[in-house]
């Protein structure tokens, strides 16, 4: 049986289980503990690591130790043109900083698109590398992260200098 995707699950303190998914050449998805069962039912994937997945987890270990601020693992975003532009724009938010959804919309898109922007940030298939955890409420509150607010807080705490 030929598999389209490969994945590996690894556990981390304060973060829990992370699933890295590769198409064999690029990282295509990162998932959290709460998403594993849906992933296993939706993807035709083999529990087998590859060079891309190993590079991601190696870099993720460095990130967790505050030794990595820029990723080198190859990624491939799948989505509409709008989604890909949106998710790519998340990388413009500097490491250690946050930006309100409305500020992000104003700076990189159009404030009239705020609702669509907010909804699609939540559909980001490769969080952390496309750092949706850096987008917060207007008052700085931690809202809207598909891994859960505890993981969002842990990621932001890692990035504090």
Kindly give the pairing relationship between strand 16-22 and strand 27-32: antiparallel
Concerning whether 132 is annotated as a catalytic residue, the answer is yes
Nearest to 27 by CA among 120, 96, 119, 127: 127
Side-chain half-sphere of 125: how many Cα atoms within 13 Å? 15
Catalytic residue among 132, 151, 154, 156: 132
Helices (H), 28-113: 36-42, 51-64, 81-89, 101-108
Nearest to 129 by CA among 69, 85, 83, 81: 69
Active site residues: 132
């Amino acid at each position: 049986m030929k598999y389209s995707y490969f994945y590996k699950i690894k556990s981390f303190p304060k973060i829990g289980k992370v699933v890295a998914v590769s198409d064999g050449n690029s990282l295509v998805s990162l998932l959290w503990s709460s998403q594993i069962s849906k992933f296993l039912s939706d993807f035709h994937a083999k529990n087998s690591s590859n060079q891309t997945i190993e590079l991601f987890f190696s870099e993720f270990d460095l990130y967790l130790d505050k030794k990595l601020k820029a990723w080198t693992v190859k990624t491939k975003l799948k989505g509409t043109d709008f989604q890909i532009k949106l998710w790519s724009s998340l990388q413009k938010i500097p490491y250690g900083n946050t930006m309100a959804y409305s500020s992000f919309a104003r700076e990189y898109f159009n404030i009239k698109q705020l609702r669509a922007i907010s909804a699609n940030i939540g559909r980001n298939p490769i969080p952390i590398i496309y750092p949706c955890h850096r987008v917060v409420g207007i008052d700085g509150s931690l809202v809207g992260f598909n891994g859960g607010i505890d993981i969002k807080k842990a990621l932001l705490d890692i990035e504090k200098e």
